[in-house]
Amino acid sequence: MKLTNEEKTAAIETSQRILSNYNQEKGSLIPTLQQIQNELGYVPSPAMEVVADHFNVMKVDVYSIVTFYNQFRLTPPGKNQVKVCMGTACHMRGGNIIMDSWKRRLEIDCGETSEDREFSLDRVACVGCCTQAPVTVINEEIHAKVTPTRVEGLLYAYQLDKDKENKKAGEDN
Amino acid sequence: MSNKSTAAATAFEQLKQKAAGTWNTLRDKPLIMVGAATCGRAAGAQDITKVIRDELASRQIEATVIEVGCMGHCYAEPLVLIQKPDNPTICYGYVSEGLASMLVREFIAGDDPCIEFALAAMEVNDFIPTFEDFPRGMVEKKVVMQHCGIIDPENIDHYIANGGYEALAKAIDKSGEEVVSEIKTSGLRGRGGAGFPTGVKWETCRQFKEDVKYVICNADEGDPGAFMDRTLLESNPHQVLEGLALAAHAVGASKGYLYIRAEYPLAVERIKKAINQAEESGLLGESILGTDFNLTLEIFQGSGAFVCGEETALIASMEGEPGIPRHRPPFPAEAGLWGKPTVINNVKTLSYIPHIIRKGADWFRETGTPDSPGTAVFALAGKVINTGLVEVPMGVTLSQLVYDVGSGIDGGKQFKAVQIGGPSGGCLPESFLETAIDFDSLNQAGAMMGSGGMVVMDEDDCMVEIARYFLDFTQNESCGKCTFCRLGTKQMLEILERITKGEGALEDIDTLLNLAKNVKTGSLCNLGKTAPNPVLSTLKHFRNEYEAHITEGRCPSLMCLNLIAYYILPDKCERSCDACIGSCPVESIFSNEDRIKVVDQEKCVKCKSCMDACPPQYSAVVKLSPPELVQEKENDNG
Amino acid sequence: MGKKINLTIDGKKIQAMEGDKILWAALENDIYIPHLCAMKEQQQSPFAGCRLCFIEIEGKPRPVAACTEPALEGMVVNTRSESIDRLVEAGFNLIMSNHHIDCKICAASGACELQKIAKERKIRLKPKKLVQLDRNLPKDHSKDCIIYDPNKCVLCGRCVTACRTEGTAVLGLAYRGFERMVTTFGDIPLGETDCSGCGSCANVCPAGALIETDN
Ligand SMILES: Cc1cc2nc3c(=O)[nH]c(=O)nc-3n(C[C@H](O)[C@H](O)[C@H](O)COP(=O)(O)O)c2cc1C
Ligand code: FES
Ligand code: FES
């Protein structure tokens, strides 16, 4: 994936700003990466280079960390992040069937972002709502007792929202 | 100890009086408590709070509304507790927005406590039974969960008014050695999985004459079906902090961390608030309660890797490295974070500490078994009627948990097995229902106390699939450092996938057993050493299910997607009904010339929508295994 | 100077430096124990990932890794027994199920530690009952003096250490679990990194994944 120049600049500036609040102790390395991830939604190469420089470690060591932990993404997430719970309770109530439905409807695999960057699909392990299984989290909202039909419904609702937005944007112009 | 009260005791007495004031004035007017831990929130607790507030405002009623943590009755979320002067405190379950406003109208404004919607009362009274009157309440015994869901987790006064920080105030005038010895006598064993005696661990750490030592609370709870630690952090954060402070005092540390799992934002928020409040009250920070004991606490958030729950991996990640375990010894208690002696304890372990110090080791030992004293906290999930969090004395039986606490199996189905200990635990069949729940009995039975996840399974759950599920999880979460865990679990998973697809061979079972044995002995850390447990236990107790998959291409529980087909029984299909057609997301159902519905097996994605959509009075959709049965049926029907 | 201690390995009485790990005590006395990841310079914080160096110590109930176990005065060690041999073979089979085997054309053939283990312990190179777990990763030819074939890598991590002590520290271990691999920042080819081509990585590679060419 190629970053645009704006994305590169944003990555570098954000990282530098975040780093200015941290000393050079290595214990702060992961917390800074987390903060970059929180702000940018991912940790691109230029950000990793800035971080490596600040903590005086090898670039490849920062890369090791970013590729090791689930939380960090190397590519930007979709505008809407769909996370399907694959915890034990959800699995037993057909979590994989729900995952399949999302894959089929979004036409992407787990861990991927759709081409228009509207959606990304991920798995999570138990969001603590096992009694409401199976669960899908969209952005921060938890949807309980999801069925394949419900997946259609959720996407439909999203489409309506988006149409409304477009229409509004059209009117505003 | 002399009766002369020390400076610390005096300082604490003041805090206690202030707290008692706050707590008692709460009782002056109606008090409404909404269970708003993550589980409650998912069920809509915050909307309920808003409805209640609005309703109170519109009626101009004076009442206090607070958001509390989780009592453990997750099946009945959202939960609301109402305490009205001159009434017992009543707990309502399954509270909808309608019920919420009705409760304000009828009970707070009026006089009708709406008993028909009450789950139970919190205190003994003449007209509503209490939780203790139900089978669940008779088995349960709450120690660390005692105040969860009935105090405001964001208000330190609520904790102090209920005996909180008394243990710290008491211990601070004693030597660390005395605290260690009390914990040793109590026989407390670590609740993070392995059951290592906490007092022994502390003693080791205490022995080192180093200036810098650390205490760490392990709240990385990674078992994909457990949320006890999260609930404790969200519902009673000060209890954990007090435990951590006592640990620090005992071993001589002045810096502590709480390592909290990435997916627990609410817990992080509440712990942060709690640390601030405790510092303001002089219970944390510099010269605690006026003594020379200092302790700063910080939060370190995990980044989403199950293996970081393992203590050496946890330390690596705090040091800015990938979370990769290292060889032990040295144990963290000798050389841990930044090479310094470090005590790492689980959230639950630490939560017991204040109770033990306050009430004594002998009190603690009264509950549980001689070798596993105290209580155990489980997240009960799966096919039981009442899911949620439970705290029971060690030594109760599995059947008590399933039938008394869980109220038995949902939907009149047949019990099959219970999975204990998550990815490192095992599946126990019906013949083990009388097994006592304690560290050693579970180990002997081939399961594990583990993290405390407990999933009940019924006849519809395939044991091969559940083994595959857990192995898929550990395989995915293996750090990749050592051969047996990285490649051994992968090879095992390959075999299990073949079997669940009906492509296995009988000799695969032997290969699987051998791999399991070697991964157990050969792996570097306990992730690998315990990963084969779900496979070994299902192979031991449910080998026939493995064989059915292999020799007959049949999944006896009708769960493995590759081995089942959906079929619509022609004689049951009500021709004028099209419910299934509309429900199918891939248009695989069509209507034949007799208007009977037929599934196009080529297109079907086996999502079960049609089966759910078919009205119960027809129940025309069935699952068949092996899928070839469809052809047979069709031939029979000519 | 460290103290010398006495111990017995496979019936042979030997001497070792106090504090040395059993693996080194054995190897320095011509007793072979299979090993891929151990480096003597790092014996005080061993990597202990390959899991091939299992031995038995009298008085200990379970097999232990020779690279993590300090040699102690009077210790009695066995490097061979039925159960040890089986465990080592199982570990070796797993490694080979993930190692691209092409000894006939492999430049490391003859100097390969995997071949040596197979010969010493009489184990087939190609495991019988396991599926081959190929990842089909691209070979890196971008540097003219080094060829890197990740499909042969056994993840012992020695090259990463060597690259840090003798090279320019471009290599690292990234990703997790089955995906774990020796790689560079952003997975870019060696030719586009600061790699000086010192070849120290190839020197320590036990499996022919990193090969120095004559260029
Ligand atoms: C793979 C793995 C995951 C673990 N996860 C946790 C965890 O999430 N929480 C925890 O407290 N202990 C976990 N442990 C156990 C810890 O290593 C350690 O034993 C524990 O935190 C010690 O605390 P205790 O003595 O209070 O039980 C895990 C161990 C392993 C091997
Ligand atoms: S398993 Fe999905 S919420 Fe717990
Ligand atoms: S040499 Fe001991 S584990 Fe690799």
Nearest CA in chain B to A30: B320
Cβ atoms of C97 and C133 within 8 Å: the answer is yes
Q: Is residue C81 less than 8 Å (CB to CB) from chain B?
A: no
Does the pLDDT of residue B108 top 90, yes or no? Answer: yes
B480 interaction partners in chain C (CB closer than 8 Å): 155, 175-180
Distance A125 CA to ligand 2 centre (A): 7
Strand blocks (E) in B88-149: 90-92, 118-121
Q: What is the ipTM of this complex?
A: 0.96
- pLDDT band at A1; cut points 50, 70, 90: low
Distance B56 CA to ligand 2 centre (A): 34
- pLDDT band at B1; cut points 50, 70, 90: very low
Cα angle B557-B560-B564, degrees, rounded to a multiple of 5:
85
Mutate to test the interface with A, among C163, C185, C187 (most CBs of A within 10 A): C185
Average pLDDT over residues B607-624: 94
Average pLDDT over residues B82-96: 93
Contact B482 C45 (CB under 8 A): no
Q: Which residues pair with B219 in a beta bridge?
A: B260
Structural domain spans, chain C: 4-94, 136-215
pLDDT, mean over chain C: 95
- pLDDT band at B2; cut points 50, 70, 90: very low
pLDDT of residue B4: 55
Does the pLDDT of residue B3 top 50, yes or no? Answer: no
A94 interaction partners in chain B (CB closer than 8 Å): 608
Which of C53, C55, C64 gets mutated to test ligand 3 (max ligand atoms within 8 A of its CB)? C53
Structural domain spans, chain B: 19-131, 156-365, 375-461, 464-552, 564-637
Cβ atoms of C153 and C124 within 8 Å: the answer is no
Distance C49 CA to ligand 3 centre (A): 6
Does the pLDDT of residue A109 top 50, yes or no? Answer: yes
Chain B 66-85, residues with CB within 8 Å of chain A CB atoms: 74-75, 77
Nearest CA in chain C to B480: C177
Q: Comparing A8-12, B221-225, B563-567, C26-30, which segment has the lowest mean pLDDT? A: B221-225
pLDDT of residue B16: 96
Looking at the CA of C95, name the nearest ligand. Answer: 3
Minimal C-alpha gap between A16 and chain B (Å): 18
Average pLDDT over residues A9-20: 96
Q: Is A57 in the pocket of ligand 2 (CB under 6 A)?
A: no
Q: List the CATH code of the domain at B156-365.
A: 3.40.50.11540
**Yes or no: domain B464-552 corresponds to CATH 3.30.1050.10:** no
Average pLDDT over residues B551-578: 94
More confidently predicted of B443 and B288: B288
Q: For residue A148, what are its two tokens?
A: 């394949």
Q: Which amino acid type is present at position A144?
A: A
pLDDT of residue A144: 85
Average pLDDT over residues B427-442: 94
Average pLDDT over residues B360-367: 97
Average pLDDT over residues C173-190: 96
Closest to B303 (Cβ–Cβ): which among A34, A88, A130?
Answer: A34
Average pLDDT over residues B567-580: 93
Does the pLDDT of residue B305 top 70, yes or no? Answer: yes
SS3 B131: helix
Residues in chain A: 173
pTM (predicted TM-score): 0.94
More confidently predicted of A157 and C89: C89
Neighbours of B328 (CB within 10 A): 16
Nearest CA in chain C to A62: C185
pLDDT, mean over chain B: 94
User: Which contiguous run of DSSP H or E holds residue B381?
Assistant: strand B375-382
**Yes or no: domain B19-131 corresponds to CATH 3.40.30.10:** yes
pLDDT of residue B124: 92
Q: Is A125 in the pocket of ligand 2 (CB under 6 A)?
A: no
Does the pLDDT of residue C1 top 70, yes or no? Answer: no
Looking at the CA of A92, name the nearest ligand. Answer: 2
The fold of C136-215 is Alpha-Beta Plaits (3.30.70)
Q: List the CATH code of the domain at C4-94.
A: 3.10.20.740
The fold of B564-637 is Alpha-Beta Plaits (3.30.70)
Q: How many CB pairs under 8 A join B and C?
A: 88
State what percent of residues in chain C have pLDDT above 90.
95
Contact A68 C174 (CB under 8 A): yes
- pLDDT band at B387; cut points 50, 70, 90: confident
Cβ atoms of B233 and B347 within 8 Å: the answer is yes
Q: Which residues pair with B255 in a beta bridge?
A: B214, B296
Q: Is B311 in the pocket of ligand 1 (CB under 6 A)?
A: yes
Does the pLDDT of residue B283 top 60, yes or no? Answer: yes
Domain at B375-461, CATH from 3.40.309.10, 3.10.20.600, 3.90.1640.10, 1.20.120.10: 3.10.20.600
Average pLDDT over residues B389-416: 94
B515 interaction partners in chain C (CB closer than 8 Å): 90
In sequence order, the 6+-apart residues with CB closer than 8 A to the CB of C75 are: C7, C8, C22, C57, C58
User: What DSSP string runs through B271-315?
Assistant: HHHHHHHHHHTTSSBSSGGGSS--BEEEEEE--S-GGGGSHHHHH
Does the pLDDT of residue A166 top 90, yes or no? Answer: no
- pLDDT band at A172; cut points 50, 70, 90: low
Distance B308 CA to ligand 1 centre (A): 9
Chain B 126-155, residues with CB within 8 Å of chain A CB atoms: none
pLDDT of residue B40: 86
Neighbours of A17 (CB within 10 A): 12
Looking at the CA of B349, name the nearest ligand. Answer: 1
